[in-house]
Amino acid sequence: ELQLVESGGGLVQPGGSLRLSCAASGFTFSSYEMNWVRQAPGKGLEWISYISRSGSNIYYADSVKGRFTISRDNARNSLFLQMNSLRAEDTAVYYCARKTFDLVGYMDVWGKGTTVTVSS
Amino acid sequence: DIQMTQSPSTLSTSVGDRVTITCRASQTISVWLAWYQQKPGKAPKLLIYKASTLESGVPSRFSGRGSGTEFTLTISSLQPDDFATYYCLQYNSYLYTFGQGTKLEIK
């Protein structure tokens, strides 16, 4: 069964840091590009970061550029999101999502999400 | 960056209604558009990709059309399970963009 399981969410103070993880199973993780998508309470979906299969190509949304770092460990079938300088507006459910194998691909497999709350 | 404008934001509908949701891209994205359904507390579920290709297992009452900058998602006869929020996603660029979402409410 294709599965993505996020972890690492929690309550953190403004200015703090948090590292999210996403464990993949049921497919060859190293063959797929991956993304992080978030959803603030009561709001829509926001793509925030992409990483290529090898990790050599990375993109960020402007809202997190310079504060968040995406990475992956193909040997451990894991995706990560290091979040620094957190702000109240980063409060959201964070999803990891697999990009399809196509050159031009959409997100086809999603985790259930992990909740990050930034508050003092 | 490519902006996606989705409308309407909310739609009050009834079971059996035909529903159409529109997404407009700020620049051409060819057919690189997907549609997702999301229910409260759940991850998005893929419905349609490449503007009009139905994902396996998705009921045929869902259909998608469009290319370039204008796209539609149509539900031919709304079922009780379809009351949810729908999002479009452009994937023409690695800087993905979602539409703002359309919430289908029971009239």
Across the interface, which of B46, B94, B98 has its CB nearest the CB of A45? B98
pLDDT tens, B35-84?
Answer: 999 999 999 999 999 999 999 999 999 999 999 999 999 999 999 999 99
pLDDT tens, B4-28?
Answer: 999 999 999 999 999 999 999 999 9
Q: Is B52 on the interface with A (CB under 8 A)?
A: no
What is the distance in angstroms between the Cα of A64 and the nearest Cα belonging to chain B? 13
Which amino acid appears at position A61 of this protein?
A
Q: Is B13 on the interface with A (CB under 8 A)?
A: no
Q: Is A113 on the interface with B (CB under 8 A)?
A: yes
Determine whether the interchain pair A112/B43 forms a contact, defined as Cβ–Cβ distance below 8 Å.
yes
Reading the block at residue B62, the tokens are 């869902």
Reading the block at residue B81, the tokens are 């399970």
